[in-house]
Amino acid sequence: MSNGIAWKGAHSTTGKSAAQPGMLGGISLTCARGLDEDEFLIALGADLDELAARTPYKELAVPVGRRGRPSPHVNPVMYGTFGDWMYVLEDWGMATWETGYRGVESMRPYPDEEIVCVTMNWWSPPSVIIHAPGDGHAWRADFGQETGQSSALDTALRAAGAVFPSLPDEDEAEVVAYYEEHGGRLSTAVFTAIGNYCELSIDLAAVQAGDLPSVLIPMV
């Protein structure tokens, strides 16, 4: 049973267990509509034979220390579809699309193709939202901010309480105090907003169990 995507934010600081067959904490999300699922995954670097196999994540992502473990230079991802959207889940700290869309031609956002990406940026905080609304551009916002495009996504971020006070519009002490009091709910608010905007729901149990199809894609 599907249950939204707010759980991604609630588990954003959960450590990854080596025994976990799927994913739970620190998941980056890229979702797209207006383009073919396989074509998008191929643009990210997926292998055609692996796509055809539709191998569950728990079988493709061999745990650390086991023979057959994937190369450290490739990343096992889960993917699926819900409504008009296809989505890619990654827990290596980044979102592959975010690392390549500015320099890799196949990943560039084209007109009539909408992409929403939430990358956790483990090694280079803060976490970031990127929205390519389908006009060939991509707009970025740190967690706690909006893209500034007066878009429906910005409206969803505000409605979910995912837009925090910021400099220079607010006093520094007030901004710091607000983050100290409310920062713990920020990731949940962001994923709530993304889920509401995309009308997207992904089954936590299926993700945690590694039941969704998976492919290996190179780390850009």
- 3-state secondary structure at position 73: coil
* Residue given tokens 């220079």 in the structure block: 168
Q: Is residue 133 part of a domain?
A: yes
Whose CA is closest to 8, among 208, 167, 175, 219?
Answer: 208
The residues near 179 (Cβ < 8 Å, ≥ 6 apart) are 144, 164
Q: Is residue 99 part of a domain?
A: yes
Q: Is residue 125 part of a domain?
A: yes
CB 43 within 8 A of CB 1: no
Cis geometry, peptide bond prior to residue 125 (ω within 30 degrees of 0): no
DSSP string over 153-202: HHHHHHHTT-B---TTTS-HHHHHHHHHHHGGGHHHHHHHHHHHHHT---
How far is residue 201's CA from residue 187's CA, in Å, rounded to a whole number?
A: 16
Q: Is residue 186 part of a domain?
A: yes
- Give pLDDT, residue 67: 45
Q: pLDDT tens digits, the chain, 220 residues: what are they?
A: 346 999 999 998 876 655 678 999 899 999 999 999 999 999 999 999 999 999 999 998 554 444 444 555 788 999 999 999 999 999 999 999 999 999 999 899 989 999 999 999 998 899 999 999 999 899 999 999 999 999 999 999 999 999 999 888 889 999 999 999 999 999 999 999 999 999 999 999 999 999 999 999 987 6
Q: Is residue 166 part of a domain?
A: yes
- Give pLDDT, residue 86: 97
- Give pLDDT, residue 3: 65
Q: How many domains does the chain have?
A: 1
CB 162 within 8 A of CB 145: no
Q: Residue 148: which domain range?
A: 6-36+81-203
Q: Is residue 194 part of a domain?
A: yes
